[in-house]
Amino acid sequence: MTSATAQTPKGLHVTLWIAQIILAGMFLMTGFMKAFTPVEELSAALPFAKDMVGLTRFIGVCEILGSVGIIVPAAVRIAPVLTVWAARGFAAIMILAIIFHLSRNEFAALPTNLVLGSLAILVAWGRSVKAPIFKRA
């Protein structure tokens, strides 16, 4: 064990891993939906998708890549700083989503954005400050 791992409570590591898995699962599902669902079907669930197809596809791809980035680097301990950057990216996506939904008076989406954004901030802070995972020696 590295010195930081030995000094950090196991509960915090477990909590961060749970948060990482929740974030990866949620963003992987929505990412695949945004990236690969035909626009006609997608616009039934996301009305803005028909007007912003390119942006919606781009966000979907970013969410898929972020889902990989929040788990794999930490799990294999190769460039684990990418996990922190993935969490920061998810936090940024959620902040922008909150602004977007507020501008469209879509208040029903806000609780999900707030919860996922909070989890992303927790992981970014936890994996960079309180319970970092160090790369393999």
pLDDT tens for residues 45-58? Answer: 888 899 999 999 99
- Look at residue 34 and tell me if it is in a domain: yes
3-state helix, strand, coil in the chain (%, to 5): 85, 0, 15
Is 136 among the domain residues? no
Does residue 69 fall inside a structural domain?
A: yes
pLDDT, residue 34, reads 96
Is 61 among the domain residues? yes
Query: Can you give the residue range of the structural domain that contains 49?
Result: 3-130
- Which of 136, 12, 10, 8 shows the shortest CA–CA distance to 74? 136
Q: How far apart are CA 53 and CA 91, in angstroms?
A: 22
Supply the angle between the helices 81-103 and 53-76 in degrees, to the nearest 10: 150
Mean pLDDT of 97-125: 96
- Please enumerate in sequence order all residues whose Cβ is within 8 A of that of 93, keeping only pairs 6 or more positions apart, or say none: 59, 62, 63, 66
Does any domain span residue 8?
yes
Answer yes or no: is 58 within a domain: yes
Number of domains in the chain: 1
Residue 135 inside a domain? The answer is: no
Residue 75 lies in a domain: yes
